[in-house]
Amino acid sequence: MNAALWLALAYSSNLFADDCRACHAAIAESFSRTGMGRSITERPAVSPATFYHALSNRHYTFTAGKLKRHQVDAAGVEINVIEKSIDVAIGSGNHAVTYAHRTGQGRLLELPVSWYSQPKAYFMSPGYDAANHPGMSREVLDTCLFCHSDSPRPAAITCRRCHGDASAHLSKPARGTIYNPKQSMEVCLQCHLETVSRGISDSIRQPGRSVFSYQPGEPLAAYKLYFDRADAPQPRFEVNHAGYRLMQSACFRKSAGKLTCVTCHDPHTAKVRDACNSCHQSLHARKENAAACPACHMPKRTAQDAIHVAMTDHWIQRNPKFENPRQENHQPYTGPVVPFYTKADPLTLAVANVREPSAASAALLAKYVERNPANASAFVSLGKMLIQLNRLSDAEQRLRRAVTLDPMLTAARTALAVALGRQGKLEEAARVLEAASSSNPDDPLVWFNLSTTLRMLNRADRADAAMREAVRLQPGIR
Ligand code: HEC
Ligand code: HEC
Ligand code: HEC
Ligand code: HEC
Ligand code: HEC
Ligand code: HEC
Ligand code: HEC
């Protein structure tokens, strides 16, 4: 069988869970009903509805399997219409579901409207409650799928994400032939540790590590390094903060590794164990009902990065005090970052702290790509910084490398076209953007830059058409 086909088959179903079901039927059955076991749905059912987002003046209409977006002009005519099929749902709906569209080129695009289970209503997806949001152009990257999906091809999480490779176990089914994460919290933290979801990159993968390369049982630090805002601990509270907030708790810090996720959670059933009394025997603790402790010490709160969901605050406190936010906070954080949980080497820490363009920052990024010669995104960061420093031919060379490394990476082609255009190589810039527009016809910036380049080349007709497409995709693009 051809290798690509084999991979496609292996990824195509709960093959791995089915392998286990024969002997671990009860676990397989209960796990398939948890949020993790339902983390992705192909071709989800959506209820018909309309939704108007005033801030960006856009109308949305859900019909069977599709999301349409339009605006209305002064004469009442529908303009800037886009319609996309809804192919994948991310999230079980325990709290929310974000929809995605699969393009003809095989990309997954995040759709701007999500379903929220507590209000039972559609609202903008997290990060999209803004006047000029990315519309239907933002790609669902592998980093997103790493936490929500079993594999790069969207599928619900299965046993192997916590138990790893099962081949030895399948040929000799017994204890000791497969990884049992009884004591390891890192198996959970691979997905449940996030310091900040927006504004900084909260983690940087180690050189040579691809997104889906983490193996259960290996030290998390061998896979990636974590960073946090230097102003932490702030009263920040986000959707994916179970690990981050638990680590601030006295219960965690002062119990010498005895408190892990599994102390309170059975990952196969999503049942919560009454675990507090195993450590707390004070009069108060004995008097209160074990099931009631979390309500006072781990209350549910509105997440600051997704204001339509309420999550459990895992920072166990005597007297938790907080205010629920009513608006998404889009204030950028520009301060320094510090290592969190893992120890960062000096170069990675310095790179995590690169903000303003400068010769020194460019030198750091150049050193960093030397250590990460297969990391296309790192070349794009360096290339963009070199453009800002007006070192255009150097930028061009780095960005060509990025395009070769990852021809699907639209940001590489867009930046390469800018480096070429600024050097007066307009014909080639236009060719690069034409190629980008066919590999990613949903990206408004590609059409916008193509239009600008074609105008400089006096190809007005084609420039106008490209601009119309940019505006259709992202009304108000400038
Ligand atoms: C042919 C039967 C069979 C299949 C198929 C099977 N297992 Fe097992 N598994 C066993 C037996 C038997 C044990 C030992 C149970 C015991 O001693 O209580 C076991 C134990 C385990 C353990 C505990 C290991 C330890 O050292 O504590 C894990 C984890 C496990 N299986 C996971 C899986 C996963 C994941 C799959 C699917 C990839 C799977 N098993 C498929 C029979 C099977
Ligand atoms: C591959 C990434 C991944 C790993 C590994 C992982 N989780 Fe999760 N977990 C998620 C995601 C994503 C959700 C939300 C799923 C949803 O509802 O859509 C979730 C949900 C949960 C929930 C909510 C209950 C539910 O509905 O499932 C609990 C509890 C939980 N995880 C505990 C754990 C524990 C404990 C571990 C480690 C033993 C762990 N998780 C490992 C990604 C992961
Ligand atoms: C670092 C891992 C991580 C990344 C990256 C991540 N998520 Fe999550 N996400 C989680 C975890 C874990 C939960 C469950 C949190 C909880 O229940 O405490 C979650 C919750 C959600 C939920 C709510 C699910 C439910 O019903 O409980 C949605 C929807 C969601 N994420 C969408 C996304 C999308 C879309 C992306 C990428 C654009 C993304 N997430 C990126 C880990 C991640
Ligand atoms: C989210 C992470 C996670 C997933 C996914 C997961 N497990 Fe587990 N599993 C654990 C942890 C943690 C333990 C050890 C702690 C415990 O027993 O509660 C464990 C223990 C086990 C054991 C040993 C139980 C015993 O008696 O010692 C078996 C068997 C097992 N898992 C099978 C499976 C099968 C089969 C699947 C898929 C249907 C699966 N697990 C999915 C985290 C996971
Ligand atoms: C593995 C043991 C363990 C478990 C389980 C545990 N705790 Fe703790 N907890 C501790 C330790 C140790 C401290 C610190 C005591 C000290 O400072 O002397 C602590 C402190 C606390 C404090 C005081 C916090 C502070 O900042 O002063 C509260 C409140 C608390 N725990 C509540 C709970 C609740 C509620 C649960 C269950 C949801 C729980 N704990 C589960 C070990 C645990
Ligand atoms: C001291 C007990 C305790 C520990 C330790 C603990 N949790 Fe929880 N967790 C809870 C409680 C209680 C809830 C709320 C359950 C409910 O409302 O049904 C919860 C809820 C959750 C949820 C559901 C979404 C939400 O926020 O309400 C996820 C996901 C989760 N925990 C993940 C984790 C992970 C991952 C770890 C380890 C990093 C962990 N928890 C450690 C007690 C704990
Ligand atoms: C009705 C709300 C409520 C419930 C339910 C509750 N607590 Fe508390 N708890 C408090 C308050 C209030 C304090 C004192 C805070 C302060 O220091 O002023 C406290 C203090 C504590 C402390 C630190 C002081 C001490 O007595 O050790 C621990 C530990 C604790 N609680 C554990 C628990 C456990 C375990 C449970 C469940 C068996 C529980 N609490 C249930 C409200 C509650």
Alpha-carbon separation of residue 366 from 53, 297, 360, 378, 418 (angstroms): 43, 48, 10, 9, 19
Task: Please indicate whether residue 185, judged by its CB atom, sits closer than 6 Å to ligand 2.
Answer: no
Which residue has the CA at smallest separation from atom 42 of ligand 6? 264
**Beta-carbon contacts of residue 245 (< 8 Å; ≥ 6 apart):** 237, 313, 314, 315
Nearest to residue 294, comparing CAs of 270, 311, 269? 311
Question: Candidates 274, 288, 319: which one to mutate for ligand 7, based on the most atoms within 8 Å of Cβ?
Answer: 288
User: Ligand 1 centre and the CA of 151: distance in Å?
Assistant: 22
Per-residue confidence (pLDDT) for residue 332, from 0 to 100 = 82
- On the question of pLDDT at 372 being above 80, the answer is yes
What separation in angstroms does the CA of 343 have from each of 187, 198, 393, 437?
18, 22, 36, 41
Shortest-distance ligand to the CA of residue 195: 3
Provide the total of helices (H) and of strands (E) in the chain, helices listed first: 21, 16
Cα 331 to middle of ligand 2, angstroms = 29
Average pLDDT over residues 432-448: 97
Q: Residue 52: which of 122, 125, 99 has the closest Cα?
A: 122
Please give the mean pLDDT across all residues of the chain.
Answer: 94
Task: Judge whether residue 142 has pLDDT over 90.
Answer: yes
Q: CA dihedral in degrees (343, 346, 352, 353; nearest 10)? A: 120
What confidence score (pLDDT) does residue 330 get?
Answer: 82
Which parts of 156-215 fold into alpha helices (H)? 160-163, 167-171, 186-192
Give mean pLDDT, residues 136-142. 95
Domain residue ranges of the chain, discontinuous segments joined by + = 33-158, 186-312, 354-473
Which residues does a 6 A CB cutoff place in the pocket of ligand 1?
16, 19-20, 22-24, 159, 163, 166, 169-170, 173-176, 178, 180
Token reading at 427: 């014909």
Binding-site residues, ligand 4, Cβ < 6 A: 17, 20, 24, 27-28, 31, 36, 157-159, 161-163, 180-182, 262, 266-268
> From start to end of 208-275, where are the E strands?
224-229, 265-266, 271-272
Average pLDDT score over residue span 227-231: 94
Residue 16: what pLDDT? Answer: 54
Q: What average pLDDT score do residues 129-150 get?
A: 95
Q: Which of 29-33, 326-330, 445-449 has the lowest mean pLDDT?
A: 326-330
CA of 316 to the centre of ligand 5 (A): 7
Nearest of 170, 15, 10, 20 to residue 1 by alpha carbon: 10
pLDDT at 329: 81
CATH number of 354-473: 1.25.40.10
What is the C-alpha to C-alpha distance for residues 365 and 232, in angstroms, rounded to an integer?
A: 26
| For ligand 5, mutation pick of 248, 276, 284, 316 (most atoms within 8 Å of CB) | 316
**pLDDT value of residue 13:** 42
Q: What is the mean pLDDT of residues 220-228?
A: 98
> Among all ligands shown, which has an atom nearest to the Cα of 31?
4
Which tokens sit at 12?
A: 């195509």
Per-residue model confidence (pLDDT) at position 478: 79
Atom number in ligand 1 closest to CA 177: 26
Provide the 3-class DSSP secondary structure of residue 252: helix
Instruction: Please tell me the distance from the alpha carbon of residue 35 to that of residue 6, in angstroms, as a whole number.
Output: 28
pLDDT value at 5 more than 70: no
Query: Is the alpha carbon torsion for 18, 180, 250, 285 positive or negative?
Result: positive
Closest ligand to C-alpha of residue 138 is 3
319-343 pLDDT per residue, tens: 999 999 998 888 888 899 999 999 9
Task: Calculate the alpha carbon distances from 216 to 129, 147, 189, 212 in Å.
Answer: 36, 13, 10, 11
Q: Is the pLDDT of residue 313 over 50?
A: yes
Contact 315, 249 (CB under 8 A): yes
The atom of ligand 4 lying closest to the CA of 24 is 35
Neighbour count for residue 162 (Cβ, 10 Å): 21
Give the residue with greater pLDDT, 8 vs 414: 414
pLDDT reported for residue 2: 36
Residue 261 has pLDDT above 80, yes or no: yes
The predicted-structure confidence for 148-204, as pLDDT tens digits, reads as follows: 999 999 999 999 999 999 999 999 999 999 999 998 899 999 999 999 998 888 999
Phi, psi at residue 255, to the nearest 5°?
-115, 25
The residue whose CA has the least distance to atom 43 of ligand 6 is: 264
Atom of ligand 6 at shortest range from CA of 311: 26
H-assigned helices in 289-391: 293-297, 346-352, 359-371, 376-388
pLDDT for the residue numbered 17: 60
The residue to which tokens 């209820």 are assigned: 47
- The confidence score (pLDDT) of residue 4 equals 38
Structure tokens at 2: 């051809």
Which residue blocks in 298-425 are alpha helix, DSSP H?
346-352, 359-371, 376-388, 392-405, 410-422
Task: Flag whether pLDDT at 15 surpasses 80.
Answer: no
Compute, in angstroms, the gap from residue 202 CA to the centroid of ligand 4. 28
